[in-house]
DNA sequence: ACCTGAACACCGTTCAAGT
DNA sequence: ACCTGAACACCGTTCAAGT
């Protein structure tokens, strides 16, 4: 017989994050969470309206660690810091990245960050539409960088990642050398990005440089 | 009684794409496809090893329309054309974007496009690692731009999109004006990007500008 | 207020059998 | 070669009932 009040939303979310971290997002089922608490699946429905609500709570919990960049920063550094902050939060629990992206506007810090970015973009000549687009790109790109990190294979269980990587590499290396010399040479780098920090820094650099190019174009007009 | 040979991979994939287009990727189930052919779910397993293989075939079928940019183009225009080509292919069947991204290297045109991009990046001083990263970013960003197009709501059935959009807008407009003036002003643009072509052109511009900034940095070194 | 138990309508997939 | 039929191990979720 289980004690009452053994369940509460915060505890459930914590367990859910642990499951997602170890086995991927698809492994997060209502029944599995319930099992780990030694409780009936339906017990969770007292604390969450449905699975969607649980997923939203997971996203919100991960977003909670989001930090605001220093308010004194100019456009370029602010965008860079905002992206870095977002990515850092997602990297802590990579498989939750899609949930974080979906939940960010429901979170106070997420909204404050968005507002601050929109403010800086407006100050630099971006129209409302352009600003909205840039903020949207930033969130989406942060998510894909994390979800699609080569070598991380977020959708696959950690135990099987090595195998999946090896298979992918073998496929690329089986291509004819005369037709795909660059692809074969780049194969290891495409399957595993090597240094994660470099991978993210490079991605952020490209995005920030792109936004600044747009800013210059607007300033010239 | 059903006629034999009523099923073949090409027909099944065509039906699958139709289902995904009208009801989203989650609506694509083995049972639903079978139903539409008036056939047992297990009939599909003669033509496809499993659902994963069916999804791969769907991705491959959509990638098939990918076109190669003119070989004479320089780095900037080539990257732009490659991105545009990828995005155009995905926009034809937006909900399949993740499948396309996953399948692109299994497709001949996809590999040729990748090889050509890697070649041009190498000619412009990009290291193997940097080239691999840029190509990877391009694919991932193309996918998120399409999957995350504001107003498209790929995961939601077309009939419910209007409602979902209205709810999202209401949430943003309920925020306090003194704290979130920019967010409120940008709300309509964030929920619906208005002109899709502008949205994609702007996203491509930012990415290409970012890559060219990197190219200049490498040329200076 | 908080959880159980049985049931329902779904999944993908196996395995043996039909034609 | 191509498909059926029954079965299995999963899902999320409803609804009524227990304490």
Distance from CA of B146 to the nearest CA of A (A): 10
**Bigger pLDDT: B179 or B158?**
B179
Question: Residues of B with CB below 8 A from A133's CB?
Answer: 189, 193, 199, 202-203
Query: Is 50 exceeded by the pLDDT of residue B21?
Result: yes
Q: Is B20 on the interface with A (CB under 8 A)?
A: no
**A15 vs A28, A36, A121, B221, CA distance in Å?**
10, 8, 39, 49
Summarised one tens digit per residue, pLDDT across range A101-150 is: 999 999 999 999 999 999 999 999 999 999 999 999 999 999 999 999 99
**Bigger pLDDT: A92 or A4?**
A92
Summarised one tens digit per residue, pLDDT across range A99-108 is: 999 999 999 9
Question: Residues of B with CB below 8 A from A145's CB?
Answer: 137, 140
Token pair 């769907």 is found at B58
Query: Is 50 exceeded by the pLDDT of residue A1?
Result: no
pLDDT of residue A158: 75
Q: Rounded to an integer, what distance in angstroms lies between the CA atom of residue B207 and that of residue B145?
A: 11
Mean pLDDT, chain B, as a whole number?
95
pLDDT of residue B1: 45
Query: Is 90 exceeded by the pLDDT of residue B56?
Result: yes
Report residue A163's pLDDT band, with 50, 70 and 90 as the boundaries. confident
**Are A118 and B182 a contacting pair at CB < 8 A?**
yes
**Are A115 and B180 a contacting pair at CB < 8 A?**
yes
Q: Please state the rounded mean pLDDT for residues A87-106.
A: 97
What sign does the CA torsion over A63, A69, A70, A72 have? negative
Torsion of CA B116, B118, B119, B124, to 10 degrees: 130
Q: Is A105 on the interface with B (CB under 8 A)?
A: yes
Question: Residues of A with CB below 8 A from B175's CB?
Answer: 111
Q: Please state the rounded mean pLDDT for residues B80-108.
A: 97
- By C-alpha to C1' distance, C11 is nearest to B29
Mean pLDDT, chain A, as a whole number?
95
Q: How far is the CA of A91 from the C1' of C3 (A)?
A: 36
Q: What is the DSSP letter of B201?
A: H
Q: How far is the CA of A50 from the C1' of C5 (A)?
A: 19
Nearest to A98 by CA among B186, B170, B147, B161: B147
Task: Look at phi and psi of residue A149 and say left if phi exceeds 0, alpha if psi is from -120 to 50, else beta.
Answer: beta
Q: Rounded to an integer, what distance in angstroms lies between the CA atom of residue B12 and that of residue A205?
A: 43
Q: Please state the rounded mean pLDDT for residues B154-179.
A: 89
**Bigger pLDDT: A162 or A115?**
A115
pLDDT of residue B161: 84
Torsion of CA A115, A119, A122, A124, to 10 degrees: -130
**Are B141 and A141 a contacting pair at CB < 8 A?**
yes
Q: Take residue B177 and report the two structure tokens written for it.
A: 């004006």
pLDDT of residue A6: 83
Q: Rounded to an integer, what distance in angstroms lies between the CA atom of residue B164 and that of residue B169?
A: 9
Q: Rounded to an integer, what distance in angstroms lies between the CA atom of residue B174 and that of residue B160?
A: 22
pLDDT of residue B127: 96
Task: Specify whether the CB–CB gap between B86 and B141 falls below 8 A.
Answer: no
3-state helix, strand, coil in chain A (%, to 5): 75, 0, 25
Q: How far is the CA of A1 from the C1' of C1 (A)?
A: 18
pLDDT of residue A156: 81
Query: Is 60 exceeded by the pLDDT of residue B120?
Result: yes
Token pair 């407009």 is found at B173
Query: Is 90 exceeded by the pLDDT of residue A162?
Result: no
Q: Take residue A170 and report the two structure tokens written for it.
A: 């073998």
pTM beyond 0.75, yes or no: yes
Q: Please state the rounded mean pLDDT for residues B183-196.
A: 94
Q: Is B155 on the interface with A (CB under 8 A)?
A: no
Report residue A4's pLDDT band, with 50, 70 and 90 as the boundaries. low
Summarised one tens digit per residue, pLDDT across range A16-42 is: 999 999 999 999 999 999 999 999 999
Exposure class string for A174-203: b at 16+ Cβ within 10 A, else e: ebeeeebebbbebbbbbbbbeeeeebbebb
Report residue B158's pLDDT band, with 50, 70 and 90 as the boundaries. confident
Report residue B4's pLDDT band, with 50, 70 and 90 as the boundaries. low
Nearest to A134 by CA among B75, B182, B91, B95: B182
Query: Is 60 exceeded by the pLDDT of residue A3?
Result: no
> What is the percentage of chain B residues whose pLDDT exceeds 90?
89
Question: By CB neighbour count within 10 A (0-12 exposed, 13-18 middle, 19+ buried), where does A163 fall?
Answer: exposed
Report residue A50's pLDDT band, with 50, 70 and 90 as the boundaries. very high
Q: Is A170 on the interface with B (CB under 8 A)?
A: no
**Are A189 and B132 a contacting pair at CB < 8 A?**
yes
**Are A190 and B136 a contacting pair at CB < 8 A?**
yes
Q: Which nucleotides of C are covered by protein (CB under 7 A)?
A: 2-6, 10-16
B46 touches strand D (CB under 7 A): yes
Q: Please state the rounded mean pLDDT for residues B79-99.
A: 98
Q: What is the DSSP letter of B25?
A: G
Task: Look at phi and psi of residue A139 and say left if phi exceeds 0, alpha if psi is from -120 to 50, else beta.
Answer: alpha
CB pairs under 8 A between A and B: 145
Q: Which residue of A has its CA nearest to B127?
A: A186
Which of B115, B205, B210 is the closest to A206 by Cβ?
B210
**B119 vs A68, B65, B125, B138, B186, CA distance in Å?**
40, 22, 10, 15, 40
Q: Is A205 on the interface with B (CB under 8 A)?
A: yes
B52 touches strand C (CB under 7 A): yes
Phi, psi of B44 (to 5 degrees): -65, -25
Q: Please state the rounded mean pLDDT for residues B201-213.
A: 98
Residues in chain B: 221
Query: Is 90 exceeded by the pLDDT of residue B3?
Result: no
**Bigger pLDDT: B156 or A96?**
A96
Question: Residues of B with CB below 8 A from A140's CB?
Answer: 144-145, 148
Q: Rounded to an integer, what distance in angstroms lies between the CA atom of residue A94 and that of residue A100?
A: 10
Task: Specify whether the CB–CB gap between A136 and A87 falls below 8 A.
Answer: no
Task: Specify whether the CB–CB gap between B153 and B161 falls below 8 A.
Answer: yes
Task: Specify whether the CB–CB gap between B183 and A114 falls below 8 A.
Answer: yes
Question: Residues of B with CB below 8 A from A199's CB?
Answer: 133
Q: Rounded to an integer, what distance in angstroms lies between the CA atom of residue A127 and that of residue A118?
A: 10
């Amino acid at each position: 017989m289980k004690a009452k009040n053994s369940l509460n939303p915060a505890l459930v979310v914590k367990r859910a994050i642990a499951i997602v971290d170890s086995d991927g997002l698809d492994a997060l089922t209502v029944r599995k969470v319930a099992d780990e608490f030694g409780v009936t699946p339906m017990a969770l429905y007292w604390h969450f309206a449905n699975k969607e609500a649980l997923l939203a709570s997971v996203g919100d919990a991960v977003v909670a660690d989001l930090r605001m960049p220093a308010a004194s920063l100019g456009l370029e550094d602010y965008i860079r810091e905002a992206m870095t902050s977002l990515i850092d939060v997602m990297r802590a629990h990579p498989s939750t990245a899609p949930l974080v992206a979906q939940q960010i506007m429901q979170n106070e810090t997420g909204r404050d960050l968005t507002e601050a970015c929109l403010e800086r973009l407006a100050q630099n000549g971006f129209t409302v539409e352009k600003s909205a687009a840039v903020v949207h790109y930033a969130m989406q790109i942060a998510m894909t960088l994390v979800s699609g990190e080569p070598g991380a294979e977020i959708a696959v269980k950690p135990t099987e990642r090595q195998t999946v990587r090896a298979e992918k590499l073998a496929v690329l290396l089986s291509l004819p050398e005369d037709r795909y010399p660059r692809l074969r040479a780049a194969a290891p780098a495409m399957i595993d990005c090597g240094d994660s920090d470099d991978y993210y820094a490079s991605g952020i650099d490209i995005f920030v440089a792109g936004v600044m190019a747009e800013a210059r174009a607007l300033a010239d007009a």
